[in-house]
Structure 1
Amino acid sequence: MTQLESKGVAASAKRTLQGSLGVTAIVFMVVAAASPLTVVGGAAPLGILLGNGVGYPALYAVSAVILLLFAVGLAAMARHVPRPGAFFTYIGYGLGRPAGLAAAWTAMLTYTTIQVAVYGYMGYLLEITVISVGGPQLPWWLYALASVALVGILGYRHIDLSSKVLGVLLLAEVAIVLVLVAAVVVRGGPEGLSAAPFEPANVVSGSPGVGLMFAIAAFIGFEATAIFRDEARDPDRTIPRATYGAVIGIGVFYTLSAWGLIMAWGPNGIMAAAAENPATLMLRTVSIYLGAVGEVFVNVLLLTSMFACVLSFHNVLTRYQHAMSTAGVLPDALSNVHARHLSPHVSSLVQTGTAGVLLAGSALLGLDPLLQVFTWLSGVATVAIVALMAVTSVAVIVYFARNRQDRRPWNTVIAPTLGFVGLILSAAVIVAYFPVMVGDVDADGAPVFGAVTWTLLGLTVLVPVFGVAQAAWIRRRRPAAYVKLTDAIAG
C-alpha cells in the first residue's frame, strides 16, 4: 500500500529521480502494494459483520466518490509542487511548517497503527492455518512477532519485494477474486443475484459508521501516485490521471468483490456466515465455489499479500523516520544509512522494535487479534487518514487562493470543498459509531464513549498537537533546525 511512498520520501534529499512511467505503470504499482486480497478477505468480512451488513458494498462506492472529489484538488496541487511528496508536503506548502509537521506525525500514526493491525490479522491467520494442517497450537502473537522479525531483517538489509513479485501477486489476487465473483454469478448464489447491497435501507442499516471506516481504510495509500512525480512521463498529465485511475480502480474492484461475497451466501445468510468466523469467510466461500484447491490457493495468497503489505508499511515508516530525522525532528541516529546495504538501518531497527512492543503489549493485555488488534487499530488509522485528507483539502484551497497559480474554480475550490465536506461528514459518522466498533455500548447496544474509545480517538488528536508544539519549540529554541525543517516539509 505504501512502500511506493517510501521511495520518494528517502530519495528526495539524495538525488533527483528520472523515468518515463506512464499512467498504467503507476496505477499498477500503487494497487499492487495495496494487497487487495487483504482487503477483500480480511477487512470486508469485518465491515459486513460489524458494520452495515448487506449494505456494506455500497460504502466502497460512496468512499470512491468522496475520494475522487478530494483527488481533484490533490491532482491540481501535484502540478505546482515541484517535488514528489505526500499529504504532509502539500499541507506544509498550503498551511505552513507547523501544520506540515503535525501532518507528518499523523501519517506516522496512520501507518504505525495499520501496520500493527495487519500483523495481528496475519498472526491469527497463521495460527489457524498451522492448526488446520495438523501443526502445533501456538498463540497468534508468536506468529505475529516472528513476522515482525522477518520483516525487520529484510528492512535492515534493504531487501524489498520487487515490482515484478508485487505484480505477480496483484494479478493472482485480482484474478482469483474475479473468478470467484464469476462463479457466484454463474451459479446464482443460494438466493439469486440482486441489488440488495445498494438499497438505501440496507446501506444505512446496522452501524454504517463502522462499515464506512473499513471501506475508507481500503483506500489508504492511493496518494502514493504523487511520489512518482520525478519518475513519471509528463508528470503534469500522468500523476492526475494515475490518481483518478487508482481511486476508480480500487473503488470498482472492492464494490464488485464485496457484492460477490454477499451474493455467495445470500442477503439473508451472509451475517450468520460472517459471524461464524470473519477471518475464514473468504476461504469458506472459495471452498464452496472453487473447491479445495482454490481454498488452498487463496489461503497462500492471503498470507503472502499480508506479508507484502506489512513489509511495505515497514519500508514507508522507516523512510518517514529517516526523513524526519534529517529534518531535525527525530534523533540524528535515525538518519544513518548502512555503508553496505545502503538502507536506513537504524530507523529500520527502531521501527521493528516499535511494532514488536505494540504487539507484545496487545498480547499481554489479552486482546483478540481480529476483533480488537486489527479492528481497533484500523479504526485509529482511518480516523487519522480521513483527518489528514480533510486538512489537505483545506491546504489546497488556501494554497491556490494565495498564489493564484491555477484559476480553475472546479479544481482549486469547488471539488476540494466538496471533498472536504464529504471527508468531514465521513469522519463524524465514523467517530459517532466508533464506540460500537470497540465494544463500548450500553445494555441496548447503543454507543457509549467509554475509556477505550476516548483513548483510541485521543491518539488522533494528541499526535498532531504534539507536531504543532514541536514545530513551535524548534522555531524558538533551534532556529537553524527550523530552517532545515522548512526545507524538508515545504520546499
Structure 2
Amino acid sequence: MSAPAPRPSPPSPAPEPADRHRLRGTLGAGSIVFMVVAAAAPLTVVAGTVPLGLAAGNGAAFPMTFVLCAVVLLLFAVGFCAMSRHVPGAGAFYAYVARGLGAAPGLGSAFLALVTYTAVQAAVYGYLGATVDALVQHHGGPALPWYLYAAAALVVAGVLGYRHIELSGRVLGTLLVAEVAIVLVFDAVVAATGGLGSGRSTALFVPSQFLSGSLGIAIMFAIASFIGFEATAVFRDEARDPERTIPRATYLALVLIGAFYTLSSWAVVSAWGDDGAVARATEDPGNMIVATITAVLGPVGGDLAQVLLVTSLFAALLSFHNVLSRYLFALGNAGSMPPALGRSHARHASPHAASAAQSGTALALIAVFAVTGMDPVTQVFAWMAGTATLGVLALMALTCAAVLVFFRRSRVDTRFWHTALAPALGLAGLLVCLWLTVANFPTLIGGSPALALAIGGVLVAAFVLGTVLTRFTGDRPGTLPSPDAPGTVTGHDTAGTDLQEETR
C-alpha cells in the first residue's frame, strides 16, 4: 500500500486592505446570549405563538413541539459551531455559505438574510406599535396611530445602535431579565399549585396527543419562535474570545430558549387544564397570556405583563437592529455594498454608518405601511413574520449544506459527529421543517395562496440577485485556507474577510 500524498500547503491569505474597518468589543458569552435571546422575544412568543400552537397545532401537547424543534436546531448548531473557528468575521450565514458552497451562493445568502431580518424587524415594529397603542388606551390615554409609536422606538434603537455594542447589551440584558422573571414567577406558581384547579398537564408526554391535530402547523409555529438564536456568530468580532464564546453562547441560547418555551407553554396549559387551554386559545388567542397571568398572579401581575410585553418587543427590535447593522457592515467591507457601510466609529467601534442606513430602511418601510393603511397585526406582523420564518429556515438549510461540503473538502476537522453526522441530521430536520412551512405558509400569513406565492417570490428574487451580482463584480470562489494559516482564526479579524478572500 502506497503512502497517501501529502496535502498541498494552503495559500497565504490575501493582504488586508488599508481601508478596511473592524468592530471591537469584549462581549462574553452571557452578553451575547442576552442579545440573541432578546431577539427571540420570549414573552412575545409565550403571548403570541403559544396560543396559536394550542389552537391550530397539536393542542395541549404543543409544549413538546418546542423540545423537538430545539433538538433539530441543536444538531444544526453542532456543525455551525464547529465551522465558526474557520470563518472569522461578522458575516454569519453568508460567510459560512460562501466558504462552503462558493461566492455566488454566499452572496445570494447575504441578500436573502438582509430581506429576512428586515422582514422580522418590520413585523416587530407593527406588533410593538399596536401593543403600545392598546396599553395607552387601556390606561385612559389617547388613541394614536401605531406608526407614531413605531417611529419613536426606531429613534431609540437607532441611538443605541450607533453607540458601542456593550451599551445595547446592558439594555437588552435588563429588559430580558424583567420579561423572563414575570413568566418564571407565573411558571413557579402554576407548578406549585397546579394552576386554576385543573392540575398539572401531562399531555406533552402522551405520544397520541403529541401526534394529534396538525403537527405540521405546530412545528411551523414552534420553529418560528427560535428566530434570532443563530445570530451569535454576527457578534464574533466583538466577542472577548470568539473561538470559545460563540459556541458557548449558541448552545446556551438554544438550551435556555427551548427550556423556557417548553416550561412556560406547559404552565399555560396547566393553568386552564388541557381542554380549557385549547378552548381559551381558540376563543381569544391575542389576550390569552395576559388573562392567564392575571388569573394566576392577580391584576398587578396582568398589568405588569402588558408593560413587559412592550419591553420584550423593543428588546427584539434592538437586537435585530444590531444584527442587520452588522450584516450591512460586513457586506460593505467585502465590497458587495457601498464601502461607507463598512466604516466603524472611531470612538464607539460600532457600525454607525450601517446602523444609520438600517434605521433609514426601517423608517421607509414604516412609512409605506402607514400610507397604505396596513393593519399592524393582521398584515404587517403576520406577513413579515411569515416571510422571516421561511427565509431563516432556508438560510439554516444552506448553512448546514455548506458545513458538510466545507469539512468534506478541507479535512481541517475530521470529527465524524461534529462535521458529518450531526450536520446531516440537522439538515434533514431543517428540510422537513422548511417543507412543512412551505406547505402551511398560507396559514402562517393569513390564508392567501397568492400572497404566499408573492412572498416566496421576493425571497427567491433576493437570493438570485445576490448570485447574479457576483458575475458583475467578477467574484469567484477561492481556496479554503487552513485553520493554521495566519489570520484565519483571529478573534478580532475583520468582518467580511472570508467572503472577500473567497471571492477574489
C-alpha distance in structure 2 between counterparts of 1:423 and 1:51, whole Å: 19
Contact 2:201 2:266 in 1 (8 A): no
Contact 1:121 1:374 in 2 (8 A): yes
Matched, 1:184 2:190: yes
C-alpha distance in structure 2 between counterparts of 1:227 and 1:486, whole Å: 14
Amino acid at match of 1:371: T
Structure 1 length normalisation: TM-score?
0.85
Amino acid at match of 1:463: A
User: What does residue 54 of structure 2 align with?
Assistant: 48
Matched, 1:222 2:222: no
Give, in angstroms, the shift of residue 336 of structure 1.
5.3
My pick for the range that moved more, 46-55 or 278-287, is 46-55
Matched, 1:99 2:98: no
Map 1:327-366 onto structure 2 (within 5 A): 327-335=334-342, 344-366=351-373
Q: Secondary structure at the match of 1:269?
A: helix
The gaps in structure 2 that reach 5 residues or longer are 1-18, 477-495
C-alpha distance in structure 2 between counterparts of 1:277 and 1:254, whole Å: 20
Alpha-carbon displacement from aligned partner over 1:332-358 (angstroms, at most 9, x marks no partner): 444456678775555434323322333
Amino acid at match of 1:309: A
Contact 1:88 1:489 in 2 (8 A): no
User: What does residue 407 of structure 2 align with?
Assistant: 400
In the superposition, relative to structure 1, how do residues 364 and 196 fare at CA in structure 2: closer, same or farther (>3 Å)?
farther
Map 1:252-401 onto structure 2 (within 5 A): 252-335=259-342, 344-401=351-408
C-alpha distance in structure 2 between counterparts of 1:25 and 1:268, whole Å: 40
Count of residue correspondences = 467
Contact 2:475 2:503 in 1 (8 A): no
In the superposition, relative to structure 1, how do residues 127 and 488 fare at CA in structure 2: closer, same or farther (>3 Å)?
farther
Q: Secondary structure at the match of 1:178?
A: helix
Matched, 1:453 2:446: no
C-alpha distance in structure 2 between counterparts of 1:227 and 1:414, whole Å: 25
Contact 2:162 2:351 in 1 (8 A): yes
C-alpha distance in structure 1 between counterparts of 2:166 and 2:157, whole Å: 9
Amino acid at match of 2:141: G
My pick for the range that moved more, 60-69 or 430-439, is 430-439
In the superposition, relative to structure 1, how do residues 332 and 235 fare at CA in structure 2: closer, same or farther (>3 Å)?
closer
In the superposition, relative to structure 1, how do residues 276 and 176 fare at CA in structure 2: closer, same or farther (>3 Å)?
same
C-alpha distance in structure 2 between counterparts of 1:230 and 1:157, whole Å: 16
Q: Secondary structure at the match of 2:335?
A: coil
In the superposition, relative to structure 1, how do residues 246 and 343 fare at CA in structure 2: closer, same or farther (>3 Å)?
closer
My pick for the range that moved more, 61-70 or 176-185, is 176-185
C-alpha distance in structure 1 between counterparts of 2:43 and 2:148, whole Å: 23
Q: Secondary structure at the match of 1:81?
A: coil
The gaps in structure 1 that reach 5 residues or longer are 1-11, 442-449, 478-482
Amino acid at match of 1:119: Y
C-alpha distance in structure 2 between counterparts of 1:490 and 1:61, whole Å: 39
Aligned pair partner of 1:126 in 120, 123, 132:
132
Amino acid at match of 2:420: V
Contact 2:22 2:344 in 1 (8 A): no
Map 1:120-269 onto structure 2 (within 5 A): 120-156=126-162, 161-189=167-195, 190-227=197-234, 229=236, 235-269=242-276
In the superposition, relative to structure 1, how do residues 488 and 107 fare at CA in structure 2: closer, same or farther (>3 Å)?
farther
Matched, 1:429 2:429: no
Q: CA RMSD in A?
A: 3.1
Contact 1:54 1:196 in 2 (8 A): yes
Q: Once the two structures are aligned, what percentage of the paired residues are identical?
A: 50
In the superposition, relative to structure 1, how do residues 160 and 292 fare at CA in structure 2: closer, same or farther (>3 Å)?
farther
Q: Secondary structure at the match of 1:385?
A: helix
Give, in angstroms, the shift of residue 435 of structure 1.
1.4
User: What does residue 444 of structure 1 align with?
Assistant: none
Give, in angstroms, the shift of residue 392 of structure 1.
0.8
In the superposition, relative to structure 1, how do residues 182 and 16 fare at CA in structure 2: closer, same or farther (>3 Å)?
closer
